Amino acid sequence: MNAIISASDLAAERAGSTPPVLLDVRWQLTVAQQTAAPGQPPFDGRAAYEAGHIPGAVFVDLDRELAAPPGKEGRHPLPDMGVFGAAMRRAGVSARRPVVVYDGGPGWAAARAWWLLRWTGHPDVRVLDGGLPAWEGPLETGTPPAPDEGDFVPRPGAGPLRVLDADAAAALARSGVLLDARAGERYRGEVEPVDPVAGHIPGARSAPTGENVGPDGQLLPAERLRERFAALGAGADTQVGVYCGSGVSAAHEVLALTVAGIPAALYVGSWSEWTSDPSRPVAVGPDPE
């Protein structure tokens, strides 16, 4: 099953006999909110949803429904499964009905929802390639009537995707390929706008997730993604893991790896969890070590 869907294919499926459940997960990184222009309010995903969304889509709050409160396990730890399951059922998610997830770009939040649903056992979840900007159909405003309650019950680890904890991520950096999906300057330790320490996990390789998309905001073709990851030492026969700042943009890199045919595990706690323990080593500079 493909992990992404084009806007034209989504339009066709919406007109079919079994249209997918649509989840709108618009969100922006906290640091972007903090650096908003003076007088400009922080980004409000629900307000953006109410201003215009794909007809029938249900808004899902990443910070409250796709993550637990921040703490020593990172800024976006795994959500409480009761909270996550209730949110998915409220949105109409059922085990036997396909789901399509989108955001406003660049796809990080949608990929987080995709990853969670696949990790907890949903068999058919795709991300709208390019997000809402790629959609050329009509939009609806306001909050539509609630859909019929879904029946999806999340089962952690029931799907094909895997998780890493801090120890497993450190081990994989030595025995396989651990990719750092953050911007290169954060990896090198030149700047750290969110977390308390700059740098990267020793042995990790810099692989900014932004380089997996083209200028149109859509993922690069699968062959180009395979070439990119091969240059980083990652292939279908390699043990691969990914982390970022808090497990959101790294989910988008896992999505890109999946499209390229490369299985990869996600270190959900990521750099925000790694740096919560001052005893963990930190590397700086352009080289993995």
- The per-residue pLDDT for range 180-209, each reduced to its tens digit, is 999 999 999 999 999 999 999 999 999 999
Give yes or no for residue 84 having a pLDDT over 70: yes
Per-residue pLDDT, 168 = 98
Give yes or no for residue 157 having a pLDDT over 50: yes
CA-closest candidate to residue 3, choices 103, 94, 123, 93: 123
Per-residue pLDDT, 36 = 42
Using DSSP's 3-state secondary structure scheme, residue 225 falls into helix
285 pLDDT band (50/70/90 cuts)?
A: very high
Cis ω on the peptide bond leading into residue 106 (within 30° of 0)?
A: yes
Residues with Cβ within 8 Å of 64's Cβ and at least 6 positions away in sequence, in order, are 83
CA atoms of 212 and 232, how far apart (whole Å)? 13
Q: What number of residues does the chain have?
A: 289
Average pLDDT over residues 122-137: 97
Give yes or no for residue 46 having a pLDDT over 60: yes
Give yes or no for residue 37 having a pLDDT over 80: no
Per-residue pLDDT, 39 = 58
- C-alpha distances (whole Å) from 17 to each of 12, 20, 97, 98, 117 are 10, 10, 11, 12, 23
**Residue 289, Cβ neighbours under 10 Å: how many?**
9
CA atoms of 184 and 85, how far apart (whole Å)? 35
CA atoms of 51 and 240, how far apart (whole Å)? 39
Which of 21, 100, 164, 244 is an active site residue? 244
Per-residue pLDDT, 42 = 79
30 pLDDT band (50/70/90 cuts)?
A: low
Per-residue pLDDT, 12 = 97
Residue-averaged pLDDT of the chain: 94
- C-alpha distances (whole Å) from 72 to each of 47, 166, 175, 241 are 30, 12, 26, 21
| pLDDT 10s digits, 55-76 | 999 999 999 999 999 999 999 9
Q: What is the 3-state secondary structure (H, E, C) of 189-216?
A: CCCCCCCCCCCECCCCEECCHHHHECCC
Per-residue pLDDT, 289 = 85
Give yes or no for residue 1 having a pLDDT over 90: no
Residues with Cβ within 8 Å of 210's Cβ and at least 6 positions away in sequence, in order, are 106, 183
Per-residue pLDDT, 133 = 97
Give yes or no for residue 41 having a pLDDT over 80: no
Query: All domains of the chain, ordered by start, with CATH?
Result: 4-134 (3.40.250.10), 162-274 (3.40.250.10)
| pLDDT 10s digits, 232-252 | 999 999 999 999 999 999 999
Per-residue pLDDT, 35 = 41
- Take residue 154 and report the two structure tokens written for it: 């999340």
29 pLDDT band (50/70/90 cuts)?
A: confident
38 pLDDT band (50/70/90 cuts)?
A: low
Residues with Cβ within 8 Å of 187's Cβ and at least 6 positions away in sequence, in order, are 180, 199, 200, 204, 206, 208
* Whole-structure pTM value: 0.95
Residue 244 a catalytic site member: yes
